[in-house]
């Protein structure tokens, strides 16, 4: 019977279980995630090599599908690993035993904001050799970093409004820490830029003291010159500027001057 139970536990039946309780409701990149991990023994004694936790996020990608001479593109959702770490040394858990661990780690600064189709979660698991690893999956709500929010607030003061957020594969030359970038698209809804600007797209790349912001400025293609610029591919401009706690008071002016210069 004991041998039979061990075989079942290797297949996940009657094995130890893991459950994570997160203490936060809202999460900010760069700030701690705290919680409690509860492990309950199964029907047999088991050796746990480690408790691991991972942070994962989704992003959208396009792949080409060929059918004869025709080509088509389809959208797929990929999963990216944001963080992978271990929180314990090997131990043994007896049948029905309950063991608890504190969970305390920093959410990486490059974790994407929960918006659009993007989903982020914490995955806690038990590493058990020659057996199915029990896991627990907890989705989290990630809000913008305060520096990012300052940029958004400044853009709104200039009459822009966010209308789309998407995660997609990162350009190779951008040197991101994850395989995707998160783009924030904003349209002018009032103010001086409403007639001159189509939209701006913002990408934030973490730095040691803040973010480098990449901003694509898409001009409003009205009139003959606007249509010509659209045809020639010159209606989009890419600029960049740093954001940190030393220049918070000048973000609005920086945004205004850059957009105005290229409109």
Domain boundary among 92, 109, 140: 140
Closest CA to 125 of 56, 55, 51, 33: 51
Residues 135 and 177 in one domain: no
Q: Tell me what pLDDT residue 72 has.
A: 75
Element at 81 (helix H, strand E):
strand 70-86
How many structural domains does the chain have?
A: 2
- The whole-angstrom separation of Cα 120 and Cα 110 is 12
- Stated as kind and residue range, the H or E segment containing 113 is none
Residue-level pLDDT at 70: 65
Burial of 133 per CB tally in 10 Å (0-12, 13-18, 19+)? middle
Query: Residues 6 or more apart from 194 whose CB is under 8 A from it?
Result: 159, 188
Residues 9 and 134 in one domain: yes
Do 179 and 129 fall within a single domain?
no
pLDDT for the residue 118: 95
The pLDDT value given to residue 228 = 43
Q: What angle do CA 90, 91, 97 make, to 5 degrees?
A: 150
The reply to whether 68 and 12 lie within a common domain is yes
Residue ranges, the chain, pLDDT below 70: 1-14, 66-70, 129-134, 220-236
Question: Same structural domain for residues 55 and 128?
Answer: yes
Close Cβ partners of 98 (under 8 Å, ≥ 6 residues apart):
38, 39, 40, 41
Q: How far apart are CA 224 and CA 230, in angstroms?
A: 10
Rounded Cα distance, 213 and 9, in Å: 50
Co-location of 217 and 112 in the same domain: no
Domain boundary among 84, 118, 140: 140
Encoded tokens for 99:
């063991």
Tell me if 163 sits within 8 A of 149, measured CB to CB: no
**pTM of the entire predicted model:** 0.84
pLDDT for position 125: 87
Per the structure, the complete domain to which residue 187 belongs is given by 146-262
178 with 134, same domain: the answer is no
On whether both 128 and 232 belong to a single domain, the answer is no
Domain boundary among 140, 166, 188: 140
| CATH number, domain containing residue 19 | 2.60.40.640
Any residues with CB less than 8 A from the CB of 216 and at least 6 apart, and which? Answer: 200, 201, 236, 237, 238
Q: Are residues 22 and 127 in the same domain?
A: yes
d(CA 126, CA 38): 11
**Rounded distance between C-alpha atoms, residue 147 and residue 236, angstroms:** 25
Indicate if 135 and 155 belong to the same structural domain: no
Same domain, 50 and 151: no
Over residues 98-148, the pLDDT tens digits come to 999 888 899 999 999 999 999 999 999 888 764 455 688 999 999 999 999
Same domain, yes or no: 255 and 168: yes
Separation in Å, CA 118 to CA 53, 108, 156, 166, 179: 20, 16, 23, 7, 14
């Amino acid at each position: 019977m004991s041998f039979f139970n061990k075989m079942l536990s290797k297949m996940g039946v009657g094995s130890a279980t893991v459950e994570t309780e997160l203490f936060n409701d809202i999460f900010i990149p760069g700030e701690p995630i705290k919680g409690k991990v509860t492990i309950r023994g199964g029907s047999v004694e088991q050796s746990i090599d480690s408790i691991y936790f991972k942070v994962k996020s989704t992003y959208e990608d396009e792949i080409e599908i060929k059918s004869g001479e025709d080509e088509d593109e389809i959208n797929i959702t990929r999963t990216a690993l944001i963080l992978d770490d271990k929180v314990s040394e090997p131990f043994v858990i007896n049948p029905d035993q309950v063991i608890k661990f504190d969970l305390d780690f920093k959410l990486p600064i490059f974790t994407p904001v929960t918006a659009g189709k993007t989903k982020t979660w914490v995955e806690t698991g038990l590493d058990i050799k020659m057996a199915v690893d029990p896991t627990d999956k907890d989705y989290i709500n990630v809000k913008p970093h305060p520096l990012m929010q300052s940029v958004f607030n400044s853009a709104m003061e200039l009459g822009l409004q966010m209308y789309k957020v998407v995660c997609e594969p990162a350009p190779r030359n951008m040197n991101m820490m994850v395989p995707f970038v998160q783009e924030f698209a904003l349209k002018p809804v009032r103010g001086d830029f409403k007639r001159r600007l189509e939209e701006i797209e913002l990408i934030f790349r973490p730095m040691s003291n803040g973010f480098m912001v990449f901003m694509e400025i898409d001009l409003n293609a009205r009139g003959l010159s606007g249509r010509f610029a659209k045809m020639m591919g010159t209606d989009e401009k890419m600029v960049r500027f740093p954001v940190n706690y030393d220049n918070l008071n000048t973000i609005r002016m920086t945004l205004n001057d850059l957009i105005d210069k290229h409109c």
